[in-house]
Structure 1
Amino acid sequence: MDIAERYHALDAQVYPWFEAQWQRVVKLHDSQHLPHALLINGMPGLGKQAFAEALAGYVICHQPRDGRACGQCRSCQLLNSSGHPDLYFLAPSDSGKAIKVDQIRELSDFMHSTAQQGGYRVVILNPAEAMNTSAANALLKTLEEPGNDVLLILITHQLGQVMPTIKSRCQRVDCHPPQLAQATQWMVEHLELSEEEAAQLLDVVHGAPLAAIEFKEAGHRALRGKFLVALKELLQDKSTPFEVAASFHKEDVEALLSWLQGLLADVSRIKVGGAAAPIRNRDVQKMLNSVAKYTSKDRIFTLVDTVQQERLGVARRQNPNKQLMLERILIDWRDLVRTE
């Protein structure tokens, strides 16, 4: 693989909610204690890729200062133009596909080569959970003997899907959603929203600011509104699971499942804490209160597990028929409030 095939335009930046994690890795680097492999863990939509790219730029920079890359040296110029020969991006060849063993073998050749600009060679692998078993086992050999001045940055959105042997050979950098006040203020400044609008968006996407931006730009607000109405009508027997599945199976099914999972999480909170429990989907609180009142914890948790598994299957393109999958899930949603 040549540099043109493994390069993409950088979005290197450290968002305010990652400042503590950034200071930690910079301190490790400056004290010459940076490990050869980092595992950046957190939910999607937080900016982990941008964090990884900023770190790559920092360790490759010839003259970093004040905890940031200088932006002026030859390495920085390469990073921000045609691509840097000592930076390697590894991702599935197609979105939703697996990272395969042949890709890891090519990566190993890069990691054991000589840095063309001197200093570090850096690999950003995203997402780590996309590696199939053969690829993960091949990477283990590289992790055991990575070579000198090599930094492998693995990004994961689903830590539980990463092989334990991979996790044990990496130092973890956990990334959490920012505090609501910080995220709201950032969105107000960057999207020209009111605080109320920003807070509502963050509720829908579980507090991930970049996911909120994507939600807004993709026009998902209208789709979510239609989906919520359909879910309510299912509970009221005004429509059937088959009709709803037929209406939505050509939409962004992963987004639909994400929203449904969020609704179920709120139902669980209400079931445990009562109607006053804090929830995210406050615009449909009445419906959620009703579901919590008439369903059982076992039914909720069973459906949560089902939705989670189907989301994983959709992300990996394993589900052959989205309409049938939606039908099964929507039947279970409707049956949450049905008595035997």
Structure 2
Amino acid sequence: MILNDYPWLSLPYQQLASGIIHKRTHHALLINYVQGSGEDEFVSMLANRLLCQSSQQLEPCLNCHSCQLFLSHYHPDYYVITNEQSKQSIGIDQIRKISNKVYEKSQQGGNKVIWVKRAALMTEAAANALLKTLEEPPENTYFILSDEHNSKLLPTIHSRCFSYFLPVPKLEISIEWLKKLHRQQYNDNELASALLLSENAPLKAVALLMPEKWQQRKKFCDHLLDVVPQNNYWQLAKTFDSEDFIERIIWFCALLSDALKAKQKVGRFIVNRDQVPLVRLLATKSNEKISALYDLWLQARTQLLTITGLNKELIVYNVLAQSEVIG
């Protein structure tokens, strides 16, 4: 069971599953999460429990016919809606199709569950179409909408749902959990850095700690140790592809933020705990220069994420050249 693999999900699951047992579950749950906190596994287990027809406990029985269908990914009363491949949004046709299904009789004689994954990707028309179903939900039909905590969902959808934020575990708990996965591969400062760079989301930290990815970050930091004193940011262009630049922006901005913390004597709050020498080096710059670099790199991230058709290499080169101007 996922509760054994991801122990921090145990209490949140108990809180929501207890409503299922006592038949007090809201017909529409909105799960907000920090990506990489086990959100998909959490929603999947809730859906499994709603569809289970035998269990009197918090967890699904995993043995009844309904559970077996769910575990084999062929449950006829379970629907997952998300953006289709190559599309950036969830369209109205997808919602209309599912809206017709939910008013049909349950094929297994139990509940029907519809999971709208990354719900904020619904177009306004799709969201309004879903709203009509949420206002007059069919009997024994449950909707689970999920998306990141900072996503933008129509207020009208929010108002029809019971909202629940899936919390990330405390840093100390996550470090212990990561230690079991990585044994002695990383020290506590490295594990803490990976978690803090990942908004404390354990599964996101696991991805960052993959040897190739972690080595890329280490090399990037090592190169910064060389280029910052010489104000030779142009040399960074050799160390990554333009496709990787957004990731480097996140890493560099976190280091710049840490440098400001160090200057304010609040070093205990720094994120890059494994890169203290680099943070101290950046902290030798003035507040104005650190802030200017931060704004420059962050602006480039916004451009890369929101404006299509941009020449990414030109943006990278411009940021590196402007960084040298700032000094």
Give the TM-score of the pair, scaled to structure 2. 0.84
Give 1:109 shift. 2.1
Residues 1:321 and 2:314 aligned together: no
Asked whether 1:13 is paired with 2:2, we answer: yes
- Aligned residue number for residue 91 of structure 1: 82
Question: Which position in structure 2 is the counterpart of 1:170?
Answer: 161
1:167–1:201 Cα change, 3 Å: same
SS of residue matched to 1:263: helix
**Counterpart residue identity of residue 142, structure 1:** T
Q: Name 1:7's counterpart in structure 2.
A: none
Looking at structure 1, the residues matched to 113 and 256 of structure 2 have their Cα atoms a distance apart, in angstroms, of 40
How far, CA to CA, are the matches of 2:129 and 2:19 in structure 1?
A: 27
CA distance in 2, matches of 1:333, 1:149: 58
Q: Please list, as runs of the form range in 1=range in 2, the aligned pairs for 1:130-141 lying within 5 A after superposition.
A: 130-141=121-132
Unaligned 5+ segments in structure 2 are none
Asked if 1 retains the 8 angstrom alpha-carbon contact of 2:221 and 2:278, the reply is no
Contact 2:233 2:323 in 1 (8 A): no
**Residue 31 to residue 200, structure 1, CA distance change in 2 (3 Å):** same
Task: Work out the CA distance in 1 between the residues paired with 2:309 and 2:238.
Answer: 16
Work out which of the two has the higher radius of gyration on C-alpha atoms and give 1 or 2: 2
Question: In angstroms, what is the RMSD of aligned CA positions?
Answer: 3.0
**Matches for 1:20-31 after TM superposition, within 5 Å:** 20-31=11-22
Q: Match for 2:8: what amino acid?
A: W
**Paired residue secondary structure (2:142):** strand
Cα distance 1:120–1:176, how it changes in 2: closer, same or farther (>3 A)? same
267 and 128 in structure 1: CA distance in 2 versus 1, 3 angstrom threshold: farther
Instruction: Give the superposition deviation at 1:221.
Output: 0.9
Q: 1:158 to 1:82 in 2, by over 3 A?
A: closer
- The one-letter amino acid of 1:199's match is A
- 1:46, 1:210 within 8 Å by CA — same for their partners in 2? yes
Map Cα deviations across residues 104-132 of structure 1 (whole Å, 9 max, x no partner): 22222233222211222112222123223
**Aligned pairs, number:** 321
Q: CA deviation at 1:71?
A: 0.6
Taking a change above 3 Å as real, the CA distance of residues 290 and 84 of structure 1, as seen in their structure-2 partners, is same
- What is the SS of the residue equivalent to 2:205? helix
Query: Is 1:70 aligned to 2:61, yes or no?
Result: yes
| Pairwise CA distance, 1:223 | 1.3
Q: Distance in 2 between matches of 1:41 and 1:130?
A: 14
Instruction: Give the C-alpha shift of residue 60 in structure 1.
Output: 0.4
What is the aligned-residue identity percentage? 30
